[in-house]
Amino acid sequence: MKWGVIRFPGSLDDGDALYAISEVMGQDATMLWHKEESLQGAKCLFLPGGFSYGDYLRTGAIARFSPIMKSVASFAADGGLVIGTCNGFQILCEAHLLPGALTRNRSLSFICERVHVRVENANTVFTRAAREGQVLCLPIKHGEGCYVAPEDELRQMEERGQVILRYVDAEGRGSEAANPNGSMRAIAGVANERFNVFGLMPHPEHAVEKMLGGDDARVFFQSIVESAQ
Amino acid sequence: MSGRPVALPGEPEIDLAEARAHGLTDAEFVRIVKILGRRPTFTELGVVSVAWSEHCSYKSSRKHLKMLPARSELVVQGPGENAGAIDVGDGWAAVFKIESHNHPSYVEPHQGAATGVGGILRDIFTMGARPIASMDSLKFGSFDHPRTRYLLGGVVGGIGGYGNCVGVPTVAGEVMFDAAYNGNILVNAFCLGLVRKGEMLSARAKGLGNSVMYVGSATGRDGIHGASLLASAEFDEAREAKRPTVQVGDPFTEKLLIEACLEAGRTGAIVAIQDMGAAGLTSSSSEMASRGEVGIVLDLDKVPLREPGITPYEILLSESQERMLLVAAPGREDELRKIFEKWDLHAVVIGKITDDKRWCATWRDQLVADIPVGALTDDAPVYDRPHAPPKAPPTRVALKRSAPTPRDALRALLDNPNVASKRWVYRQYDSLVLSNTVEGPGTDAAVLRIKHSPRGIALKVDSNPRACEREPYIGTIATVCEAVRNVACVGAHPVGITNCLNYGNPERPEIMWQFVRGVAALRDAALAFGTPVVSGNVSFYNETEGRAIPPTPTIAVLGVLPDVTKRVTQFFKQAGDVIAIVRTSPPSLAASEYETVYGLDGGTLAAIDLVREKALIDALVGSIEQGLIQSAHDVSEGGMLVALAEPCLNPAALVGAEVDLGVHPSDRAALFGEGPSTVVLSVRTDGDLARAEKMFSGRGLEFSVIGRVVDEAKLRVAGVVDEDVCELRTIYEDALPRRLKASD
C-alpha cells in the first residue's frame, strides 16, 4: 500500500513521518507537495505536524485552502484513509473532515513531553492491532491541543465510538493531572463518523523506535497495514 | 560605477558630532576621512559605524582570538566563515556555532531571544548544513528581582516560539540565576547542522560580473543600529528607549528559507551565500566581497521593501530578519529564482561582483556609497587595549550563619533554582522533531544519532561565572573541563569547541584583563583536550550603569560516539550495581552554589591539572565505549550529595543508593564542594568492575568504590543523610514551577 505524506509550507514533522513510514515500518511512501492536486496513487494520506503558514491566523486555518486539500476531501469522501497528527489534526478539523476544534492549552504554554493515552476503540482501521484499553506512551508537542466540541456532539461521538484515544496516567486511569492540555473529556484522538479519517495530537511518527524513547505507536501503522491486506 | 557619492536631500552635515552620535571615536572618524580622502556621506557614515562597531569588527578581541587553536585532523572549517565545521565520520561534517543576543533580550525578551535563535540558525544553513539541534545558555538576575520572571518568561517563550515553529529541536542548555545579571541578562544561542563533506557552501564571493541576489523577507526599518548602538555599548537608564533597535522574528519565513536555501544549495548554482545578520546588507555584502578579494556594487532600488520611503541609509543598516545574500553562478539566476518562488520567497538580483575591490551602492541612478571593501572588513580598526588585574582582587564577605545539617542543605540545594530541574523551561521546547534525539534535555549532555550511520554526536554548553569572577584563568579552565567532561559522561569523544565570550566594557583595563586571561585559558584547555575552537563570538559591554557582569565565557563542546548505542546516562540502572567516584583533585567549596547560598568564603580556587583532566576524559570515554559503565554523572552545581541524588531520579526505574563516603557530616567541602572534576559512576559487579577500575587506575586516577545501587527508593549516605528519593524528586521538580506559580 502506498502512503502519501503531505508537505505544507511550515510542516515540520513531514520528514519524520516519511522516515517512520518508509524506513522504520518498511512501507512505500512518498512526499506530496501542497500546491499539487495529485495524490500520486496514495492509499493512505498522512498530514504531519508543524506550524503550517506559521499558524499566525489560527492553527490549520490557511493550510485547509491549499490546492491539495480539495483532493484530500474527495479522497476521504470516497472512503480513503487519512490520518492527521498535531497540526495535521488541526487542519482536518478546520477542513471539517473531523469534528471539533483544537484550542490553546490550558496552561497557555507549549508542552513537549511523553504522555499516556488509552485506546478507547480498537475496532477501527487505525487501531485494530491494539487492545481496547491498551495504554500507549506517546510524545506530545503543541501549544494548541485542547480539544473542544459542543456537548451534544461529544455525546454522539462517544456513543458512536469516535473517541479513539484519551489521555490517562501510566496505569490507564483518567485524572485532571493526566490531561496535559485541558481537552474536553481528555480526548487525544478522534475519528469521523465513517472511521476513515483519524486525528490525534500525540505524534506517532516519534514513537516507532526504542532508541528514540519508545515504539508504542507502531500499533497505528501496523493496524493500517493490516487493514489494507 | 565609482566616483564621488552624493549627499541626499535632508541628510545632516557630517562632522565629529555626527560621528560620535554614530558611536565612532574621534580617531576613527579621522581614520575614515583619511581612507576615503574626503568626508563620508551620511549613508557612508552609517555603514562605517556599524562595520567598525565592536560587535561586527571584533576590534578589541581580534588580536587575542588569534591565539586560539583552530586545527586538528578533524577540522573541516575553522574560523573565517559563518560557522566552524568538524568531521564527525561517515562523510558528515557538523557545522556549529554559538552567539550572543544579550542586550536585545533584555530590552525585548521575547523577540530578542527569538531572533537570537533565528540568527544562529542562518549562520548554519548558510553553510549548506541542515540545522539539527539547538541549545541555549541563559543567565538571569536573582529570582527575587522584580524583572526576572518577566525576562525568564519572555526569553523562554521567544526561544520556544521560534525554535518550535522552525522545526529544529532544542536538545540541551543551561539556566542560571544570579544577582550579578540583574541589569544585563545573557542569552547565548547555539546551533549545529549536518552537511555532507564536500557539499559545504562558502561565503567567498567570486566571479567578475556574477549576479548578487537578495532572497527572503523584504527589508523594513527594524533593527537599525542593533549592532552598533545596542550591542556595542553599555546599558544606561535610557535602555528602554532602545527597543526599536530590536528586530522582529518570523520563524515561518525562516523555515521556508531553510528549505529553499538547502534546495538551492544542492543545484550547485550558488557561488557564495551569507545571511544578513548584524548590520544586514552592509556586512553580508562587504564580508563576502572581502573573503573573495573582489568588489561589489549594489542597486538599492532593487531591494524588496516593506514600505515606501525607506532611505539608502536605512536599507543598508536594516537588520530585518530572514534575509540572505548570495552570489549566483553565471546564467543560473532564473533557476535559483524559481526555487525561492516555489517557497513563496523573494529572490531578486540586486547587484554584481566587480574587480575593483570597492564596495559601492547606487540609488535612483546616483552613487550613494563608495568605500574600499577592506575599510569595512580587514582594515577596520584593531585595538590592543590595555589590560591589568584589578587593584584589589574580589573578596568575599563571610556571613555569620550557623551551618545547616547536611539534610537541610541537600534539600535547600535541590530546591535552589540553579540546581533544581529545569523541566519548566525545556518542556516548552520541541526536543524531538527531526527524529534524532536519543537523549534530550535533563541529562549531562544531549545525544543525537546520525541517520543511516552507527554514529552519534553529543552536545553540551557550560559556563561558570562564579569561578571566572574569582580567577578568570582558572575559572575558564574549569568551564572547559566541565563541558568536555559532560560530553565524556555520555561516552562521546570531545572533538571541538565553540565559544561565546561575554564580558563588560573592554575599554576598562580590568575587564580587558579578564578577557585576556579567559582567552589564554581557553587556548590552554583546548590544546590539552585536543578540541580546536572552530567558531565563536565575543559580547562586550555587558554592563549597566557601570556595573559589569562577572566574566562569562560560555563553552559548547561537540562530542562524537562511534556507536551511539553505547551511550550512557546519569541515571542509576539496577540494584546491585557498584557506585564509584573518580576525582582529579580534592573537593573545594570555592565558587560553589553552597558558598553562595550559605554566604561563606569557600577560599581560593586551586589550579587545575589539565593532564589529569585529560586522563579522566580518556578513561571515561574508553570505559563507556567498552560497555563497562552503567551510568556516569559529573559532580557540578550543588556538589557530591546532589550528584548522588540526581542519578536516583531515574524516570524509567525506581532506584536508590547506599553509600559511605567515609567523611564526617561536618565536612562541607566533601559533601557540597564542586571543586574540579569528580564523576559518579555505577558499574556492574561482574568482570566489568575490575576492568573499569583498571581503566582509571591505569591512568593514575583513584577509582573509589563508595556503595551500591539499591531497589529501595532511598538515598542513604552513612552518617550523613537518609532520604526518600520520591521526596527529593518532588523538591527537585517543583522548585521552578512553585516559584513561578507564586508570581501569577
Whether A16 sits inside 8 A of B164 (CB atoms) is: no
- Enumerate the residues of chain B whose CB falls inside 8 A of the CB of residue A213: 432, 437
Q: Which of B259, B422, B435, B451 to mutate to test the interface with A (most CBs of A within 10 A)?
A: B435
- Enumerate the residues of chain A whose CB falls inside 8 A of the CB of residue B342: 35
Whether A139 sits inside 8 A of B432 (CB atoms) is: yes
Residue spans of beta strands (DSSP E) within B197-236: 211-216
pLDDT per residue over B466-492, tens digit each? Answer: 999 999 999 999 999 999 999 999 999
Average pLDDT over residues B34-51: 94
> Residue B610 phi/psi, 5° resolution?
-65, -25
Whole-angstrom CA distances from B441 to B169, B558, B712, B721 are 10, 16, 26, 28
Give the per-residue pLDDT at B523: 98
Closest among B263, B372, B383, B385 to B326, alpha carbons compared: B263
Whether B435 sits inside 8 A of A205 (CB atoms) is: yes
Give the per-residue pLDDT at B243: 60
B737 has a chain A CB within 8 A of its CB: no
Percent of chain B with pLDDT over 70: 95
B435 has a chain A CB within 8 A of its CB: yes
d(CA A58, CA A227): 34
Q: Which of B432, B443, B450 to mutate to test the interface with A (most CBs of A within 10 A)?
A: B432
pLDDT confidence of B237, banded at 50, 70, 90?
low
Sheet of A44-47, strands arranged across: A28-33, A2-7, A44-47, A81-85, A197-200, A187-191, A163-168, A111-119, A135-142
- Enumerate the residues of chain B whose CB falls inside 8 A of the CB of residue A55: 165, 252
A177 has a chain B CB within 8 A of its CB: no
Measured in residues, chain B has a length of: 744
Closest among B548, B730, B570 to B634, alpha carbons compared: B570
Give the per-residue pLDDT at B169: 98
Give the per-residue pLDDT at B164: 96
pLDDT per residue over B282-341, tens digit each? Answer: 999 999 999 999 999 999 999 999 988 899 999 999 988 899 999 999 999 999 999 999
Whether B428 sits inside 8 A of A110 (CB atoms) is: yes
ipTM over 0.90: yes
- Enumerate the residues of chain B whose CB falls inside 8 A of the CB of residue A51: 164-165, 251-252, 255
User: Do B533 and B539 form a contact (C-beta atoms < 8 A)?
Assistant: no
Q: Which of B252, B435, B437 shows the shortest C-beta gap to A51?
A: B252
Give the per-residue pLDDT at B277: 82
pLDDT confidence of B601, banded at 50, 70, 90?
confident
Query: To the nearest whole angstrom, how far is the Cα of B596 from the nearest Cα of chain A?
Result: 32
Whether A205 sits inside 8 A of B255 (CB atoms) is: no
d(CA B141, CA B176): 8
Task: Please calculate the CA angle B409-B412-B414 and round it to the nearest 5 degrees.
Answer: 110
Whether B434 sits inside 8 A of A110 (CB atoms) is: no
Q: Give the DSSP letter of residue B333.
A: H
Looking at every residue in chain B, the average pLDDT score rounds to 93
- Enumerate the residues of chain B whose CB falls inside 8 A of the CB of residue A53: 252
Catalytically active residues of B are 55, 101
Identify the H or E element spanning B285.
helix B280-292
> Chains A, B: CB contacts under 8 A, how many?
83
> Residue B403 phi/psi, 5° resolution?
-70, 135
Whether B429 sits inside 8 A of A110 (CB atoms) is: yes
Give the per-residue pLDDT at A2: 96
Give the per-residue pLDDT at A58: 79
Give the per-residue pLDDT at A117: 98
d(CA A207, CA B322): 32
Task: Please calculate the CA angle B314-B317-B319 and round it to the nearest 5 degrees.
Answer: 105
Helix pair angle (B148-166, B109-125), 10° resolution: 40
Average pLDDT over residues B345-362: 95
Give the per-residue pLDDT at B742: 63
Cell numbers given for B330: 553565471
A64 has a chain B CB within 8 A of its CB: no
A9 has a chain B CB within 8 A of its CB: yes
Residue position matching grid coordinates 575587564: B511
pLDDT per residue over B145-159, tens digit each? Answer: 999 999 999 999 999
pLDDT per residue over A176-200, tens digit each? Answer: 999 999 999 999 999 999 999 999 9
Q: Give the DSSP letter of residue A214.
A: B
For CA atoms B266, B270, B276, B279, give the dihedral sign: positive
Residues near A85 by Cβ (< 8 Å), separated by ≥ 6?
A: A13, A17, A46, A47, A48, A49, A199, A200, A201, A202, A203, A204, A205
Residues near B605 by Cβ (< 8 Å), separated by ≥ 6?
A: B467, B470, B471, B474, B475, B478, B588, B590, B591
Q: Which of A16, A54, A110 shows the shortest C-beta gap to B434?
A: A16
Query: To the nearest whole angstrom, how far is the Cα of A210 from the nearest Cα of chain B?
Result: 9
B255 has a chain A CB within 8 A of its CB: yes
pLDDT per residue over B602-647, tens digit each? Answer: 889 999 999 999 999 999 999 999 999 999 999 999 999 999 999 9
Ordered alpha helix ranges (H), B418-499:
423-426, 465-470, 472-489
Percent of chain A with pLDDT over 70: 100
Cell numbers given for B138: 541563559
- Enumerate the residues of chain A whose CB falls inside 8 A of the CB of residue B438: 211-212
- Enumerate the residues of chain A whose CB falls inside 8 A of the CB of residue B427: 109, 111-113
Query: To the nearest whole angstrom, how far is the Cα of A115 from the nearest Cα of chain B?
Result: 12
Residue position matching grid coordinates 552536545: B459
Helix pair angle (B610-625, B509-529), 10° resolution: 40
A54 has a chain B CB within 8 A of its CB: yes
Whether A211 sits inside 8 A of B438 (CB atoms) is: yes
| Torsion angle in degrees (nearest 10) through CA of B380, B119, A15, A147 | 180
pLDDT per residue over A102-134, tens digit each? Answer: 999 999 999 999 999 999 999 999 999 999 999
User: Do B507 and B461 form a contact (C-beta atoms < 8 A)?
Assistant: no
pLDDT per residue over B649-673, tens digit each? Answer: 998 889 999 999 999 999 999 999 9
Is this model's pTM higher than 0.80 or not? yes
- Enumerate the residues of chain B whose CB falls inside 8 A of the CB of residue A12: 165-167, 255, 430, 433
pLDDT per residue over B216-225, tens digit each? Answer: 999 988 767 7
Residue of B nearest to A206 (CA): B435
The residues pairing with A30 across neighbouring beta strands, listed in sequence order, are: A4
Residues near B661 by Cβ (< 8 Å), separated by ≥ 6?
A: B640, B670, B671, B706, B717, B718, B720
Instruction: Give the domains, in start order, of chain A with CATH numbers.
Output: 2-228 (3.40.50.880)
Residue B416 has pLDDT above 60, yes or no: yes
Residue of A nearest to B251 (CA): A54
Neighbours of B645 (CB within 10 A): 26
Give the per-residue pLDDT at B226: 64
Strands A44-47 and A2-7, how do they pair? parallel
Give the per-residue pLDDT at B235: 67
Residue of B nearest to A20 (CA): B435
pLDDT per residue over B561-586, tens digit each? Answer: 999 999 999 999 999 999 999 999 99
Query: To the nearest whole angstrom, how far is the Cα of B415 from the nearest Cα of chain A?
Result: 22
A180 has a chain B CB within 8 A of its CB: no
Query: To the nearest whole angstrom, how far is the Cα of B656 from the nearest Cα of chain A?
Result: 21
Residue position matching grid coordinates 589550579: B607
Give the per-residue pLDDT at B240: 61
Q: Which of A9, A112, A203 shows the shortest C-beta gap to B431?
A: A112
Q: What's the alpha-carbon Rg for chain A, to the nearest Å?
A: 16
Give the per-residue pLDDT at A63: 83
Ordered alpha helix ranges (H), B350-402:
373-376
Residue A131 falls in which region: left (phi positive, over 0), alpha (psi -120 to 50) or beta: beta
pLDDT confidence of B247, banded at 50, 70, 90?
confident
pLDDT per residue over A24-65, tens digit each? Answer: 999 999 999 999 999 999 999 999 999 988 887 778 888 888
Whether B252 sits inside 8 A of A212 (CB atoms) is: no
Average pLDDT over residues B711-715: 96
Residue position matching grid coordinates 552620535: B21
Whether A141 sits inside 8 A of B565 (CB atoms) is: no
Closest among B520, B458, B514, B480 to B610, alpha carbons compared: B480
d(CA B709, CA B644): 10
Give the per-residue pLDDT at A64: 84
d(CA A197, CA B115): 38
Closest among B69, B65, B91 to B78, alpha carbons compared: B69
Query: How big, in percent rounded to 5, are the helix, strand and coil portions of chain B?
Result: 35, 25, 40
User: Do B544 and B235 form a contact (C-beta atoms < 8 A)?
Assistant: yes
A203 has a chain B CB within 8 A of its CB: yes
